[in-house]
Structure 1
Amino acid sequence: MELRVLRYFIEIVNDKSITSAAEKLHISQSTLSRQIKDLEIELGTILFERGPREISLTDDGYFLLERAKEINSLVESTTSAILNKKVLSGDLYVAAGEGKANAMLTETFNKLIKKGENISINFETQDADQIFKNLDAGILDFGVVYTNDSLDRYNKLSLPIDNQTGIVLPRKDDNFGKDNLVATDLKGMNLLIPRQIDVHSQLISYLDEYVRDYDITGTYDMNYNMRAMVLSGMGYAITFNKPEYQSGDLVFKSLNYLDSIKTVLIWKKSRTLSRLAEEFLKEMKHEKSE
């Protein structure tokens, strides 16, 4: 399986047409069709369903697409790291959840851009489970996660940001008359909780011990989705406190006996860092010490 053919495959998927992809790749349609047919023979499966106007992926095709994108991204980042060893340049791949650490990260990104040349920062919003997967696959250089787990399989740097946990509800529904709630205040309520596995488990244990009478009506991974779910009336969300909850249509209430959640920068133990990644880590350590 050649990298060149995998890139051809990705281009066909993007264009949904072998003819269009062949034009962009500057090769003949027959050559491209033969390359894909040889790939299907090599893998022993059909990758595309050929329709009258466009092609679509089979289940095996979707699986290969995900892997092909990972392989292509890894090759590109590796090539960039090797070519840019002498100059602070190249690509940096970082993912984080939605939280207070993002301001710290973007300040560090800006410092790197000012210090180097031809630097490209690839910053994505991902939940912790996605970050673990992409770090393990070599797609990310670093991830920022919100967790109290030990994370022993990664190198890590604890950041000076603690996240207070509580519930978010529509401001118009705020009949509690207080900012700090006790567990019994949640009895009989519909609740929305994070999908992240370790946080999910911690919250279920808390609810089972202190609340007992409750209903989980949904889970979420991103703040935007959670906000829409709360405003629709699906339930109150257990989440972190954020500045936007001080005004607007949502309000935050802290919960007793819930530990604050730590913020941790992590990277793969076996990964050799590029010069740009090393400089990023150096700056993050400096930010932490200030």
Structure 2
Amino acid sequence: MDLRVLEYFLMTAEEGSITHAAELLHVSQPTVSRQLMDLERELGKTLFIRTKKNVSLTKDGLLFRETAREILALYQKAVREDTGAAELSGELYLGMGETGSVRFLAEQIAAFQVLHPSVHFHLISENADRICEDIEKGLLDAGFVMRNVNPATFEILELGLTETWGVLVPESHPLAGEPEVSGRQLRQERLILPENTVFKQELLRWLGQGAEERVGATYNLIYNAFPLAQTAGALIVCLGTVGERQEGLIFLPFAKGKTASASLIWKKKPVQTPALEAFLEHVVHAISE
């Protein structure tokens, strides 16, 4: 399969038109049409529903779109890596959640780039489940997570940073003046939980029987949960620091002091890229000082 065909497929899927895709790709419409039909024959699947004016993806087409994106992303990442340059250079893709501990990683990236300005970082916001998946697929070089991962699959560098589980409460909420909140109190409230599978199950066990019935929504990235918390008076279960305030919400810790530890993880394999090896050495040195 020619990678160029994947570009034709993705452009056509995005534009919903073979003609428009051909114009943007600077090739003829018959070329794109023929390549797409060859692709369908090779896969043994119908990827597009075709009408006189446009095209749309079938169910198989939607599934293949994700595969095509991953293949092209891996190829483009490999092309950018320059292992033969005298000066350290390259592209590093790091996944991270939206937690306060990310500041430590930001400080290390800034210090590393002073030493190696030709290394470019891509910071990808994802939850821990997706970070692990994308590292395994090769789409991410490393990830910053606040949960345990499988040591048979990942190398794990404990960073010595912890954060506290609690809730973000609207400042006008009756609980806003409390120093902490208990599971009993939370079972009376509408809750917004993180989408992360492991965290969600742990939190529901901690909150106790009936807690799942109080979950009105889940979030992937916490910023998207702020408007719902403000308008519905719901409480966002998350990691934070005592007294933290943002977007009209105040953070209250759980009464039992539940915490999570930060780790930098990457896939176990014999050889890492020079840029990743150098960055990992930099972080190890920083936490050992």
TM-score for the superposition, normalised by structure 2: 0.89
**41-50 or 4-13: bigger deviation:** 4-13
Q: Residues 89-104 of structure 1: matches in 2 within 5 Å? A: 89-104=89-104
Q: Residues 170-249 of structure 1: matches in 2 within 5 Å? A: 170-175=170-175, 177-208=177-208, 215-233=214-232, 235-242=234-241, 245-246=244-245, 249=248
Residues 242 and 253, structure 2, Cα contact 8 Å, conserved in 1: no
Q: Residues 1-290 of structure 1: matches in 2 within 5 Å? A: 1-84=1-84, 86-148=86-148, 151-175=151-175, 177-208=177-208, 215-233=214-232, 235-242=234-241, 245-246=244-245, 249-270=248-269, 272-290=271-289
Give the C-alpha shift of residue 119 in structure 1. 3.2
Give the C-alpha shift of residue 157 in structure 1. 0.6
Residues 101 and 163, structure 2, Cα contact 8 Å, conserved in 1: no
C-alpha distance in 1, partners of 2:212/2:77? 50
Give the C-alpha shift of residue 172 in structure 1. 0.7
Give the C-alpha shift of residue 144 in structure 1. 1.0
Residues 169 and 252, structure 1, Cα contact 8 Å, conserved in 2: yes
With over 3 angstroms needed to count, the CA separation of the structure-2 counterparts of 1:20 and 1:254, relative to structure 1, is same
Give the C-alpha shift of residue 88 in structure 1. 1.3
C-alpha distance in 2, partners of 1:212/1:138? 37
With over 3 angstroms needed to count, the CA separation of the structure-2 counterparts of 1:157 and 1:248, relative to structure 1, is same
Amino acid in the other structure paired with 1:251: I
Residues 100 and 161, structure 1, Cα contact 8 Å, conserved in 2: no
C-alpha distance in 2, partners of 1:176/1:150? 37
Give the C-alpha shift of residue 54 in structure 1. 3.0
SS at match of 2:261: strand
C-alpha distance in 1, partners of 2:126/2:279? 19
Residues 188 and 214, structure 1, Cα contact 8 Å, conserved in 2: no
C-alpha distance in 2, partners of 1:5/1:144? 34
**38-47 or 83-92: bigger deviation:** 83-92
C-alpha distance in 2, partners of 1:154/1:97? 18
Residues 96 and 125, structure 1, Cα contact 8 Å, conserved in 2: yes
Q: Which runs of 4+ in 1 moved over 6 A?
A: 211-214
- 1:94-123 superposed Cα distances (whole Å, 9 cap, x missing partner): 110001232222233333433335433211
Amino acid in the other structure paired with 2:88: L
With over 3 angstroms needed to count, the CA separation of the structure-2 counterparts of 1:276 and 1:244, relative to structure 1, is farther
Residues 195 and 218, structure 2, Cα contact 8 Å, conserved in 1: yes
SS at match of 1:164: strand
Give the C-alpha shift of residue 272 in structure 1. 2.9
- 1:28-54 superposed Cα distances (whole Å, 9 cap, x missing partner): 221221111111111111111224443
With over 3 angstroms needed to count, the CA separation of the structure-2 counterparts of 1:85 and 1:22, relative to structure 1, is same
C-alpha distance in 1, partners of 2:46/2:9? 13
Give the C-alpha shift of residue 267 in structure 1. 0.6
SS at match of 1:69: helix
Q: What 5-or-longer segments of structure 1 have no aligned partner? A: none
Amino acid in the other structure paired with 1:167: V
Amino acid in the other structure paired with 1:98: E
Give the C-alpha shift of residue 170 in structure 1. 0.5
Give the C-alpha shift of residue 245 in structure 1. 3.0
With over 3 angstroms needed to count, the CA separation of the structure-2 counterparts of 1:101 and 1:46, relative to structure 1, is same
C-alpha distance in 1, partners of 2:152/2:88? 30
SS at match of 2:190: strand
Q: How many residues align?
A: 289
Residues 89 and 118, structure 1, Cα contact 8 Å, conserved in 2: yes
Give the C-alpha shift of residue 70 in structure 1. 0.7
C-alpha distance in 2, partners of 1:224/1:42? 43
With over 3 angstroms needed to count, the CA separation of the structure-2 counterparts of 1:213 and 1:144, relative to structure 1, is closer
C-alpha distance in 2, partners of 1:142/1:207? 32
With over 3 angstroms needed to count, the CA separation of the structure-2 counterparts of 1:85 and 1:58, relative to structure 1, is farther
With over 3 angstroms needed to count, the CA separation of the structure-2 counterparts of 1:50 and 1:99, relative to structure 1, is same
C-alpha distance in 2, partners of 1:97/1:181? 24
C-alpha distance in 2, partners of 1:239/1:22? 46
